[in-house]
Chains A and B, each alone.
Chain A
Amino acid sequence: MTTEKKAEKKPEYIKVEIARPRAYKWSSGKYLGKLYKEALENRKLVTNRCPKCKQLLWPPAGVCGRCNVEAGEDWVVMSGEGTVLQYTYLVFPLWDPHYGDRLANPYPTATIKLDDGVFLVHFLEEKDPEKLKNVKRVQAVWKEEGRGRGLGDILYFRTIDE
């Protein structure tokens, strides 16, 4: 096995800056495409149901992996309301690697169980660490600008009274 040796000359990294942003084009496909479309046009969260076990697939998908059957067009419009199961918030600065934005700090993210039973990870409007402890019931607030990003069309989840 190897142990550290002191180099004679101090080595340095070669830094390569890539100025041109890389462009990617992803297909949302038939099932996620429907979710994107409904979110964008109707501000609705939709998903489809497995024909065999009747569970909601989430995100919407062409197959149920548990039953190994092809899913169909049994679409369900879900409630935008749910319950916070877990949450956390950033305490150090982080970049959003997708859009290049500095994330807000604090920046609470939560695992939310929608009333229809599926769960998702999203942001919370509440940013006060003390108040976060008591956030239970939440409701989706849709974005006005920069839409067309699927679940990203939801700005955050806002606390609602029980």
Chain B
Amino acid sequence: MGNRVAIVGIGQTYHKSNRKDVTQPEMVAEAVRAALTDAQMKPKDVEAVFTSNMETFEGMYLPDHMMVDEVGAFMKPGLKVNTGGTTGASVVEEGFHFVASGLFDTALVIGFEKQDCGDTTAAITAAVTPVWGKGVATGAIGEFAKQALTYMQKTGAKEEHAAMIRLKADKGACKNPYAHLKLGLKSIEEVLNSGYLVWPLRLLDFCPQSVGACALILASEHKAKKITKKPVWIADVVTVHQEPFRAGSFGDPTGTEEYSQDIAAERLYKRNGITNPTKDICMAEIYEPSNWEEMSHYEHYHFCEKNEGWKMVEKGITEMEGAFPVNPSGGVIATNPIGATPTIRVAEAALQVRGDAGEHQVTRDVHTAMATALGGPNWTVVTLLKRSL
């Protein structure tokens, strides 16, 4: 391992479906200013700037070039990264690697997406290899719908369990000042009464298209201790790549393929001496595009036994007050500015470690937290954060 690296500044914008009032760079600048304010730093204190989004969604080529001034990157080194859905976590990993290498002492990492500029479903559908899978793709939602069906059939989970996840997410979102959808849902019936989008996924079962940005400032150990009294250490980041399953889908209906989520989690746990994930780790912010996906991820990240993800919800284990809270922020199903989404997972997990999550701070003391990202299909990035190393 390289030098120690901490998150010393956290900033995000509020999230909405539309931001007619700002350009993409202006929106990103809001998150950057917030992170700099949090760290009590000036733009000149940042040595390198790393950005990430899904540029084809907005129809803008090289968006990082356009926002050089707004993010304080003028005449500074940096890179733009795009790894698909995971990109907002990959950019954190990128900054982590550069600071851990000793090349820079401070780095600004930014995830952003201004989805109101374009057509995300069209862009995702177009993301299939041009000569393979074209014309039969249904965007992300068709894939997650099929996975929901498989999950139901395989595990015995009921629509009520998915609705419980949705209620949990909304409860968190309503307490999170930066969340997008704050629906004030009162009962699982409300969720079960929402119409189907792509059967069996209902409107309330799937994430929204959000506009927003999230910025983190990373610093080397000696700098971090000067900048803040509450550094959040990046203990480890694991990325696992896997080409799309041969069906070209996110899930594996045959049950014979290896999931990148399992491999990533196992590698992370082994490298960090984690033998009992829900005991050794205090909470998680996971990338769940749908409530069904969240239950499935509990299993893939070994938070529970196989086919028992829905039981964690039923028992309330993953509630804000539960033994292992998951997505107290409201998660992706409440807020999904795609390029920023995994950065927000890391940011929210870091706020929990600092004890600064405000109204959605979990009951359990968080000395260790995990953030995950899903993309690709079948790319996984997992990030482990600690209060002390």
Residues of A participating in the B interface, judged by any CB pair closer than 8 Å? 1-4, 7, 10-13, 24, 26-29, 32, 36, 58-59, 65, 85-92, 94-99, 107, 109-111, 113, 118-123, 129, 149-152
Contact = CB atoms under 8 A, between A and B. Distances in A.
Given A85-B254, A91-B198, A97 B146 contact: no
Nearest to A27: B131
A87 B152 CA distance: 13
B161 interface: no
A22 to B, nearest CB: 11
B147 A86 contact: yes
A120 B146 contact: no
28 contacts: A2-B30, A3-B14, A3-B177, A7-B21, A12-B20, A13-B20, A28-B131, A36-B131, A86-B253, A88-B200, A88-B201, A89-B198, A90-B138, A91-B197, A91-B198, A94-B138, A97-B123, A97-B125, A98-B126, A99-B135, A107-B138, A109-B136, A109-B146, A111-B253, A113-B254, A118-B246, A120-B248, A152-B135
Given A88-B200, A92-B198, A96-B135, 6 more contacts: A32-B131, A86-B150, A88-B142, A91-B196, A98-B134, A152-B136
A36 B130 CA distance: 13
A18 to B, nearest CB: 9
Interface in B242-261: 243, 245-249, 251, 253-254
Point out which of B147, B197, B247, B249 has the most chain A C-beta atoms below 10 A from its C-beta: B247
B156 interface: no
Nearest to A149: B135
Interface string B74-105: 00000000000000000000000000000000
Contact of A86 (B126, B146, B198): B146
Contacts of A89: 198-199
Contacts of A119: 245-247, 253-254
Nearest to B245: A119
Contacts of A36: 131
A150 B131 contact: yes
Given A11-B20, A95-B122, A2 B132 contact: no
A87 B200 CA distance: 10
Contacts of B34: 1-2
A33 to B, nearest CB: 9
Interface in B7-29: 10-14, 16, 20-21
A130 B11 CA distance: 49
A59 B131 CA distance: 10
Contact of A121 (B119, B131, B133, B197): B133
Contacts of A111: 146, 247, 249, 253
B130 A24 contact: yes
A121 B248 contact: yes
A1 B177 contact: yes
Given A1-B177, A2-B14, A88 B145 contact: yes
Given A3-B14, A3-B177, A109 B142 contact: yes
B255 to A, nearest CB: 10
A69 B162 CA distance: 43
A61 B251 CA distance: 21
Contacts of B145: 88
Contacts of B12: 1-2
Given A3-B14, A86-B149, A97-B125, A32 B178 contact: no
Contacts of B63: none
Closest 7 CB pairs of A and B: A97-B122, A85-B253, A86-B146, A88-B145, A119-B247, A26-B130, A11-B20
Nearest to B202: A91
A58 B178 contact: no
Contacts of A123: 136
B333 interface: no
Contacts of B116: 13
